[in-house]
């Protein structure tokens, strides 16, 4: 695919981001776009490798290798090289309902398993993907496409995050009448409130797609907690022919150490959600980091988003505690291609903090042991200790505190970004659904049927905390199986 010798002629290039010190002054997206001629050269780097691992979408060593929605990547790379943008968009939409989302926030496991990446920098798959879909919007190629006929079947989708939106889109294509329930004030779930605006613009990107889905006939019912007093599960079961649960894994991991109840200690998602709500409402009702020493506990994407948000508030300092060691700069011997490369990366938040304060905010192999506060109950400091990872008597690696490494860091705002334990349980209990050992809804992958006939589960509430692109994979799969349940057969992929 692409130009046979392109990977030898053209180096990998990605768009230049807005400068860190400029972009922390606003909430606009920080990625810039590449000229068309440069994008075509990047498409030319796709090397006709014969076996395109980039679109396999499998788990190797517990991590995604290749694209979980099986994007036809070599095909649309070739079409971009040949300047056939509309055909490239058609190929992209065959497997991905929302490439404008994955092209912005997916960590790109496709690039980690790109054949070229075994010897050289990978093809810029993610950037080409978002460029294709944005070209489609600019040219007016992407318009509402409601189904020609309706089946008469009513389907409820509970949760409007990535899995819910992809399930709803596919079920609507099949002709079912779809209602999506969302307990927040706007649809989108994680896409709306879990990812900051500078990574994924809410009005120009998320709500643009929501409006299209509404034009296609999908109904969104917000401010509605299914399973609560206002909308009990009995009503859900009686009013719909089938239900798809896509509620996510929103139960946060806590840190139950001394001082945890002090004011100024928040879960990261509460901090990020309140910020986006205030940004959309143009209000001052949010958890502010302005003028504060901020300690973020957790080194993943959510922690990075807290760094970037705190900087835009105008924090005094920011530190990010990571209990794991720093990843190596190159693949380790036990992390071969085409596995996901577990290598050191500097994300946008760390880049911004380094530009403003002179150093990466991450502190590795460190955990918090205690919070201290003032007489009014406000947090004032975090006690930390370095750890080493050692095997216990069961052969499991656990963190062991290292004596003499204790520190006390000033903090007036602490954000807990340590991941999620699983889905919230009240709705699951109300429906009486069977759960797995990790408290997720029990439903086999590729089948998605729960223990209750006519009820399906997909995304993080079924598999646990995972990538947005896996949620899209599961939402599409659950729609297929739900359609089969309703109609006896299905034409959905």
User: Concatenated DSSP letters for 97-156?
Assistant: S-HHHHHHH---HHHHT-GGGGTSPPP-HHHHHHHHHHHHHHHT-------SS--S-EEE
pLDDT confidence of 444, banded at 50, 70, 90? very high
Considering the domain architecture, whether residues 197 and 117 belong to the same structural domain is answered as no
pLDDT of residue 48: 83
Considering its fold, how many domains does the chain have in total?
3
* Residue 62 is assigned to a structural domain of this protein: yes
> Is the domain of 234 the same as that of 276?
no
| CATH number, position 24 | 1.10.1060.10
Residues 43 and 190 in one domain: no
Q: What is the pTM of this model?
A: 0.95
Position 27 in a domain: yes
Can you tell me the mean pLDDT for 6-14? 95
For residue 313, tell me if it sits in a domain: yes
The runs of H, that is alpha helices, within 15-124 are 20-23, 36-44, 73-81, 85-95, 99-105, 109-112
* Residues 26, 160 within the same domain: no
The pLDDT of residue 236 is 96
Does the pLDDT value for residue 2 go beyond 80?
Answer: no
Question: Which tens digits make up the pLDDT trace of 186-198?
Answer: 999 999 999 999 9
Instruction: Summarize the confidence of residues 95-119 as an average pLDDT.
Output: 96
Cβ within 8 Å of residue 119, ≥6 positions away: none
Question: The sheet that has 219-221: what strands, in order across it?
Answer: 219-221, 177-181, 154-158, 242-245, 455-457
Q: Residue 124: which domain range?
A: 6-139
Regarding whether 396 and 258 lie in a shared domain, the answer is yes
Statement to judge: residues 92 and 63 lie in one domain: yes
Q: Check whether residue 336 and residue 438 sit in a common domain.
A: no
Q: Is the dihedral of CA 478, 482, 488, 493 positive or negative?
A: negative
Say if residue 478 is in the same domain as residue 358.
no
272 with 392, same domain?
A: yes
Residues 278 and 198 in one domain: no
Give the integer Cα–Cα distance in Å for 272 and 275.
5
Q: What percent of the chain has pLDDT over 70?
A: 100
Of 370, 396, 418, the residue at which a domain comes to its end is 418
Pull the structure tokens for residue 410: 């000033």
Same domain, 408 and 295: yes
Residue 478 maps to a domain: yes
Domain boundary among 113, 139, 165: 139
DSSP codes joined into one string, 149-178 = S--S-EEEEE--SHHHHHHHHHHHHTT-EE
pLDDT grade for 50, boundaries at 50, 70 and 90: confident
Contacts of 158 (CB under 8 A, 6+ apart): 164, 180, 181, 226, 236, 243, 244, 245, 246, 247, 427
Count of other CB atoms within 10 angstroms of residue 329: 8
Q: Is the pLDDT of residue 13 over 80?
A: yes
Residue 149: inside a domain: no
144 falls within a domain: no
Q: Is the pLDDT of residue 176 over 90?
A: yes
pLDDT at residue 170 tops 80: yes
- Tens digits of residue pLDDT in 477-490: 999 999 999 999 99
Residue 146 included in any domain: no
**Residue 345 phi, psi (nearest 5):** -135, 145
Q: Are residues 108 and 166 in the same domain?
A: no
Inform me whether the pLDDT recorded for 20 exceeds 70: yes
Averaged over 170-197, what is the pLDDT? 97
Residue with tokens 């307990």: 183
Out of 80, 114, 139, a domain closes at 139
pLDDT digits (tens, 9 = 90+) for 62-95: 889 999 999 999 999 999 999 999 999 999 999 9
Evaluate whether residue 211 is within a structural domain. yes
CATH assignment of the domain containing 471: 3.50.50.60
Q: With bands split at pLDDT 50, 70 and 90, how would you rate the model's confidence at 392?
A: very high
User: Quick check: 207 pLDDT over 70?
Assistant: yes
At 47 the pLDDT is 87
Question: In which band, very low, low, confident or very high, does the pLDDT at 1 lie, cut at 50, 70 and 90?
Answer: low
Note whether 105 and 198 are within 8 A (CB): no
Question: Is-cis flag, bond preceding 409, omega within 30?
Answer: no
| Average pLDDT of every residue of the chain | 96
């Amino acid at each position: 695919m692409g130009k046979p010798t392109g990977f030898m002629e053209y180096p990998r290039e990605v768009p230049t981001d807005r400068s860190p010190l400029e972009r922390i002054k606003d909430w606009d997206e920080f990625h810039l776009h590449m000229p068309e001629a440069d994008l075509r050269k990047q498409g030319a780097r796709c090397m006709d490798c014969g076996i395109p691992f980039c679109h396999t979408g499998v788990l190797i060593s517990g991590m995604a290798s290749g694209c979980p929605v099986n994007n036809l990547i070599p095909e649309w790379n070739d079409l971009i090289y040949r300047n056939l943008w509309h055909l490239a968009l058609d190929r992209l939409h065959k497997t991905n309902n929302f490439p404008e989302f994955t092209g912005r926030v997916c960590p790109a496991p496709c690039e980690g398993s790109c054949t070229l990446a075994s010897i050289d920098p990978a093809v810029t798959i993610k950037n080409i993907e978002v460029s294709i879909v944005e070209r489609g919007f600019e040219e007016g190629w992407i318009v509402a496409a409601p189904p020609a006929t309706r089946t008469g079947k009513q389907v409820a989708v509970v949760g409007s995050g990535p899995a819910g939106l992809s399930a709803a889109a596919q079920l609507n294509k099949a002709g079912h009448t779809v209602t999506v329930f969302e307990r927040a004030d706007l649809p989108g779930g994680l896409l709306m409130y879990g990812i900051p605006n500078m990574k994924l613009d809410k009005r120009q990107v998320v709500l643009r797609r929501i409006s299209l889905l509404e034009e296609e006939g999908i109904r969104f019912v917000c401010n509605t907690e299914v399973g609560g007093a206002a909308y009990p599960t009995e009503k859900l079961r009686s009013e719909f022919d089938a239900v798809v649960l896509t509620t996510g894994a929103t139960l946060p991991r806590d840190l139950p150490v001394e001082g945890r109840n002090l004011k100024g200690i928040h879960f990261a998602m509460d901090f990020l959600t309140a910020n986006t709500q205030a940004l959309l409402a143009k209000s001052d009702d949010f958890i502010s980091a302005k003028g504060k020493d901020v300690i973020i506990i957790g080194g993943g994407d959510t922690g990075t988003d807290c760094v970037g948000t705190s900087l835009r508030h105008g924090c005094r300092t920011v530190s990010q505690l990571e209990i794991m060691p720093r990843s190596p700069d190159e693949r380790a011997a036990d992390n071969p291609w085409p596995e996901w490369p577990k290598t050191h990366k500097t994300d946008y938040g760390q880049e911004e903090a380094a530009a403003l304060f002179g150093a990466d905010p991450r502190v590795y192999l460190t955990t918090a042991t205690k919070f201290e506060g003032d007489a009014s109950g406000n947090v004032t400091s975090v006690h930390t200790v370095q750890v080493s990872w050692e095997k216990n008597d069961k052969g499991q690696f656990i963190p062991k505190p290292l004596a003499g490494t204790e520190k006390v860091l000033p903090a007036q705002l602490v954000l807990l970004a340590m991941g999620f334990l699983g889905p919230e349980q009240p709705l699951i209990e109300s429906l009486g659904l069977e759960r797995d050992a990790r408290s997720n809804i029990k439903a086999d992958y590729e089948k998605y049927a729960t223990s209750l006939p006519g009820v399906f589960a997909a995304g993080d509430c079924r598999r646990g905390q995972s990538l947005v692109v896996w949620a899209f994979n599961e939402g599409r799969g659950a729609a297929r199986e739900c359609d089969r349940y309703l109609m006896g057969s299905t034409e959905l992929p």
